[in-house]
Amino acid sequence: MSFKQFFPIPVFISLLATSMMVLDIFKGTTLRHYLPWVSFQAWAMYFLAGCTLKGGVRVMLAYFAGAVASVAIFELAGLFAGWGLGQAAVPVAVFFIVIGVICGERVPWFDFVPAWFIGAGVFFGIMGLKAWPADATNCSKYGSTLAYLMVSCAIGQVYGIVTVFLRKQYEARIKTT
């Protein structure tokens, strides 16, 4: 494929990325749990997972599992802090939870462990970015954070599917000309 034939591909992907930003501008109440930065990295994870629907499902499951692992870390760290572990509470909680996360490598459909870590990192990031009302419970914080994570991840997976589909269509058309 010549550069002239290739050039429409980056232009198309750029248009998709632009549309993701426009979606953020007009999200309103329909996509109130949409964070484009999460969708962008989830879009990349679709490619890292193999550019297939199965890979996209694995990413979604791993993000969810990463969120569950994050909640477990928060809760276990709270328990350990109550036992007097102080600053060691979070590292000790991470130690125990990561053992379970790595065991996910042995579970079909949950075996894309890098996405567990990305999902967990994003979950932690969203928890740290949100300004929670003083009366917010941990449960409501976790639920809201999970909604941001999973809605944004799903949008990223859709963008990955659309990217691969349209690129294949374009490349097939190029081959026939």
What are the pLDDT digits (tens) for 124-137? 999 988 778 888 88
- Compute the distance between CA of residue 148 and CA of residue 34 in angstroms, rounded to an integer: 6
* Tokens 């490619």, residue located: 47
Mean pLDDT, the chain cut into blocks of 10 residues (177 residues total): 92 96 85 92 96 96 97 96 95 96 94 95 91 85 94 97 96 87
pLDDT tens digit sequence for 2-18: 899 999 999 999 999 99
* Tokens 């232009």, residue located: 11
